[in-house]
Amino acid sequence: MDYSRFEEALGYKFKDISLLETAFTHTTYVFENGGEHYESNQRLEFIGDAILDVAVGRILYDMKPMAGEGYLTKMRATAVCEQSFAEVARELELGKYLKLGKGEAQSGGADKASSLADCFESVVAAVYFDGGFDAAFDVVTKNLTETIQKAVNGEIFLDYKSRLLEIAQMKGNQHEITFKILDERGPAHNLEFECAVYADDIFLAKACGHSKKEAEQLCAKAAIARYNDIFNG
């Protein structure tokens, strides 16, 4: 596969392209094609996660020279998350290069936030092993500075469930927010949970996720606008 367009978008040219190929290899692909012949990106993901913590921490350190440890920690947690990494991965069109098992590919795995985020972490690790920490830091700077700036500006809000509960107690509203898991389906390695959320007995929204927590967060995100239309419109 020709990775030149991806490398251009990423901002790094690999010397050892096999590292990038491993970064794009999902566990389901290894499972279906023989583990002895392929290595998944899980080990790279482990290293990438650590590198991103350090790199984003350094960018924040320079960006906010007067900020204390608590603030920097909070901003890093906001920027270093599945949602942020998945958005960057989509901008890089990373899903086009992911090697997935057939079932995972058919179920939309190429655009699954968790798979995209894990792969982005793996790509950062691949850059580190290929070109060292400075190269990896440059890639993180190029691709995540805008996201970090949004975190600093308060434009990223990740805990939609808490935000919905907070809104339900504002402006004189006293509605009880209830989340219900409606369905659990799929194989053990790829479970999907369907969740609905209600304000008292009024249905607000429904969403699916690959964990109960993800389903509830996506459900709450969709419900916020609906809640405001019904009660604060």
The DSSP code sequence of 5-61 is HHHHHHT---SSHHHHHHHTB-HHHHHHH-TTT---SHHHHHHHHHHHHHHHHHHHH
Alpha-carbon Rg for the chain in angstroms: 20
Where would I find the H helices in the chain? 4-10, 17-23, 27-33, 42-63, 69-79, 82-91, 102-106, 113-131, 133-152, 160-167, 212-231
pLDDT for position 229: 84
Q: Which amino acid is at 141?
A: T
The full set of domain ranges for the chain reads 4-152, 160-231
pLDDT for position 53: 95
Cα 199-202-208 angle, rounded to 5 deg: 75
pLDDT exceeds 90 at position 109: no
What's the pLDDT band for 35 if we cut at 50, 70, 90? low
pLDDT in tens, 47-66: 999 999 999 999 999 999 99
pLDDT for position 11: 97
Q: Domain 160-231: give its CATH code.
A: 3.30.160.20
Classify each residue of 79-114 as buried b or exposed e, where b means 16 or more C-beta atoms within 10 Å of its C-beta.
Answer: bbbbbbbbbbbeebebbebbbbbeebeebebbebbe
Please state, for a pLDDT cut of 90, what percent of the chain lies above it. 57
On the question of a common fold for 4-152 and 160-231, the answer reads no
> If you search the block for the tokens 């290894």, which residue do you land on?
30
**Distance (Å, whole) CA 181 – CA 193:** 7
Whether residue 131 contacts residue 15, with contact meaning beta carbons closer than 8 Å, is answered with: yes
Q: Please tell me the CATH superfamily of domain 4-152, with its number.
A: Ribonuclease III domain (1.10.1520.10)
Nearest alpha-carbon partner for 120 in 193, 21, 49, 209: 49
Single out the catalytic residue among 49, 138, 192, 194: 49
Residue 104: active-site member: no
**For residues 168 and 101, which has the higher predicted lDDT (pLDDT)?**
101
Nearest alpha-carbon partner for 91 in 117, 128, 54, 127: 117
Q: What value does the mean pLDDT take over residues 196-207?
A: 94
pLDDT in tens, 152-187: 887 776 678 877 887 887 756 678 899 999 999 888
What's the pLDDT band for 24 if we cut at 50, 70, 90? very high
Please state, for a pLDDT cut of 70, what percent of the chain lies above it. 95
pLDDT for position 5: 95
pLDDT exceeds 60 at position 122: yes
Q: Which tokens hold the place of 170?
A: 């504002």
Whether residue 121 contacts residue 48, with contact meaning beta carbons closer than 8 Å, is answered with: yes
Single out the catalytic residue among 121, 130, 214, 216: 121
Residue 49: active-site member: yes
pLDDT exceeds 80 at position 232: no
pLDDT for position 172: 63
pLDDT for position 158: 64
